Amino acid sequence: MRKRWQIEALMQEMVGFTFLHSYEAALPFYECWLEVRLLQRQALSPLDRMVLACAAKGFDTIEAVDLVLGAGRGDVRSAFSALLSLDLLAESEHSQHTDRWHYRPTDRGFETLSEDGFLVPIPSRIRVIYDAELGRLVPSLRNLYITSTDVTKRALHVIPAAFARPSVNDLDWASLRRYLKEMQRIDPKRAPQGELHDVVRITNVSPVYRQCDVVAFDASDHSSVAFRVFDGDAPLREYDDVLSRRFIDVREILPLVAQEDSASTDDRSLLPKDLADGAERASAELSELQTLVEAPGSPDGAPGAEAMPSAPAESTTRKERDALKKRVSELESQLASVRPLEVSEHRPLLEKALKHARERVLIVSPWLTRTAFDAELLDLVGRALRRGITVYIGWGIPARGDNPADARQERESERVIARLEDIASRQTRGTLKIAKLGDTHEKVLISDTRFAVVTSFNWGSFRGDPNRGFRQERGIYFEIAERVEELASELVSKIDRVLTGSSGQPPTDANQA
């Protein structure tokens, strides 16, 4: 997973884009075993070589060679037969006068004499790796690729393959020859030696993966999503544009989850309406006034004013400007304690709460996924518990009958809960309280009485709708202590009622303190 500072460095490069998501992924490949024939040089027997050399010198009949070598007519005749079958000798002409055949070496025969051997196609098996995103062969370094089991254990998001399992016709022979030579150079002891003659068939194909880090950025006008792919610190630039182009049609490149509920609900229903409305109005007014204050039109920056020579007019203009600046200052002070949040501000606030809370952190989220509760966040939960913090997590929304997406999400949430409980079992000071509320549409984060966030951003999972693109989640952040405490008390009571079995909903295995 990319660190926060690495993402911030990328954001500086991505002008016109905002940070969307960072996740650990698995790029798809196919491990293929090929039955091939490789041309390997094979040496002639001493007699065969001497017979071929005699023919090259003009001793072009069996009788003439036997007179030169004295090896016996039968052995010389067998050598001629072998050389003819290997296409090293060819019949030249038949003499009617002597009733004998004359022979001459073929081009292959002359080459065999000069190279001390001839090429023979030898059956062999080779292992190749086919890139399912780029549609080409890549080096088959064994420590670079992992299995489906590894992907599951590491909770990696699998990038959908762009290419199906390859057939013989999908293999580029020039690439395969280059690939074979490269593997022979890298691992000469294990790679079969010889020049590729042909591919007989592909005997076995199985999926393998390459682990990577992916960072996604959303265009400011939401027209596109850009990707940056890394293997450790090394950028894998060949995948950046490929994933960006494919995302137009294949939304599953990002770890999407099903929409939490189909009903139209107010994601910020727990937030007092006066705070929400006031924050939205103040933010809109501040934006408008800042534009007016900075607008050109007069030497001293007064909005809409024109340079006038009269002193009274200049005084009036300055008063208007000062009044605007005073109002801007008032709005900025107001929004310091109550303000709207953009989507990119949510995750840092969640991390801040876990890092700096003194007594409690409360998270309410319809679903929990390993994408959101990654290694970094789990570590922060563990650190918070070691400091003696009580961490409350409320999750679960009303079931929609036998909806399979809900069932998948529930299984995923239970996997996350198992990880959290394992972390909590190793701590001695803090307390982890997880309750399946079963009726929550809200997404809430509370840190002590210092701040609270009520939002449409799902803290426990990465939310998106593949049919409409990515929602620009917004929330309201507020630091009014009495309002924070009021909201926290309501949610803590709700969680405690579930954990004690007094909520009307029987406790489940996932409802544990």
Angle at 33 between CA 29 and CA 36, to 5 degrees: 130
State the average pLDDT over residues 427-433.
85
Nearest to 335 by CA among 477, 475, 450: 477
Residue 467's pLDDT is 32
Q: How far apart are CA 69 and CA 50, in angstroms?
A: 8
State the average pLDDT over residues 372-376.
87
User: Which residue ranges make up each domain of the chain?
Assistant: 4-37+122-253, 44-116, 273-339, 341-499
Q: At 451, which helix (H) or strand (E)? A: strand 451-455
Model confidence at 264, pLDDT cuts 50, 70, 90, reads very low
With helix as H, strand as E and coil as C, how does 254-293 read?
Answer: CCCCCCCCCCCCCCCCCCCHHHHHHHHHHHHHHHHHHHHH
- Residue 195: burial class (beta carbons within 10 Å; 0-12, 13-18, 19+): middle
Q: How far apart are CA 489 and CA 372, in angstroms?
A: 26
Res. 434: pLDDT tops 80? yes
State the average pLDDT over residues 296-323.
53
Type of residue found at 354: L
Res. 45: pLDDT tops 90? no
Residue 358's pLDDT is 94
Res. 511: pLDDT tops 70? no
Res. 376: pLDDT tops 70? yes
Sheet with 431-436: strands ordered across: 338-341, 475-478, 451-455, 443-447, 360-365, 390-395, 431-436
Residue 463's pLDDT is 38
Q: Would you say 63 and 31 are in contact if contact means Cβ atoms under 8 Å apart?
A: no
Class of domain 44-116: mainly alpha
Res. 296: pLDDT tops 70? no
Model confidence at 479, pLDDT cuts 50, 70, 90, reads confident
Give the Å distances, CA to CA, from 73 to 63, 70, 132. Answer: 7, 8, 61
> What digits encode the pLDDT tens for the residues 24-33?
999 999 999 8
Residue 49's pLDDT is 86
Res. 431: pLDDT tops 90? yes
Model confidence at 331, pLDDT cuts 50, 70, 90, reads low
Q: How far apart are CA 285 and CA 478, in angstroms?
A: 18
Model confidence at 141, pLDDT cuts 50, 70, 90, reads confident
> What digits encode the pLDDT tens for the residues 341-366?
777 788 899 999 999 999 999 999 88
> What digits encode the pLDDT tens for the residues 158-180?
999 999 888 888 888 788 888 88
Q: Which residue has the higher pLDDT, 117 or 496?
A: 496
Give the Å distances, CA to CA, from 136 to 41, 129, 174, 386, 390. Answer: 29, 8, 11, 49, 52
Residue 193's pLDDT is 84
Class of domain 341-499: alpha beta
> What digits encode the pLDDT tens for the residues 197-216?
888 888 888 999 999 999 99
Residue 230's pLDDT is 95
Res. 397: pLDDT tops 70? yes
Calculate what percentage of the chain has a pLDDT beyond 70: 79
Q: In b/e form, how buried is each residue of 198-213, taking b as 16+ CB within 10 angstroms?
A: ebeebeeeebbbbbbb
Residue 47, both tokens? 């007699």
Alpha carbon distance, N-terminus to C-terminus of the chain: 29
Res. 104: pLDDT tops 80? yes
Q: Any residues with CB less than 8 A from the CB of 151 and at least 6 apart, and which?
A: 26, 158, 209
Cα 248 to the center of its chain, rounded Å: 16
Average pLDDT over all residues of the chain: 80
Q: How far apart are CA 246 and CA 133, in angstroms?
A: 10
